[in-house]
Amino acid sequence: MIALIVRLEVHAERLDQFLAAIQENAARTFEDEPGCRYFDVTQDTSRPTHFMFYELYDDEAAIEAHRQAPHFAKWREAADVCVVKGSQVNTFCRQLFHHA
């Protein structure tokens, strides 16, 4: 399993647009992509324009399929105007174990 952890900051005046776009992207990813195991979106409690996503995929092919999906392209359009330029940091990790 490969985890993708995304950290980013959103322009305050675009917060509603961002939330609608990421909610749709996360739902479509989890529901429509068999290689996606998790897609969690979190918001910083002390800085409400800061977010972290935790996405878990079966393998690199599943991540590539995600990037090719129509909902991802729609998400990128929204992110281009909502996310503060240079704030997004993507980190790829290998999941070692999970506690549920």
Q: What is the pLDDT of residues 44-94, one digit of tens each?
A: 999 999 999 999 999 999 999 999 999 999 999 999 999 999 999 999 999
Q: Where are the domains of the chain?
A: 2-94
Q: What is the average pLDDT across 2-30? A: 96
Cα 88 to chain center, whole Å? Answer: 10
Instruction: Name the residue with tokens 């910083």.
Output: 44
What average pLDDT does the segment 12-32 reach? 96
> Given 3.30.70.100, 2.30.40.10, 3.30.70.360, 3.30.930.10, which CATH number is that of 2-94?
3.30.70.100
pLDDT value, residue 99: 82
Cβ atoms of residues 42 and 28 within 8 Å: no
User: Residue 98 — very low, low, confident or very high, per pLDDT cuts 50/70/90?
Assistant: confident
Rounded mean pLDDT of 27-38? Answer: 94
Query: How far is residue 74's CA from residue 26's CA, in Å, rounded to a whole number?
Result: 12
Cα separation, 5 vs 46, whole angstroms: 19
- What is the pLDDT at residue 100? 76
- Residue 12 near residue 83 (C-beta atoms within 8 A): no
| Per-residue pLDDT at 33 | 93
**Residue type at 22 in one-letter notation:** I
Return the structure tokens found at 95: 């999941």
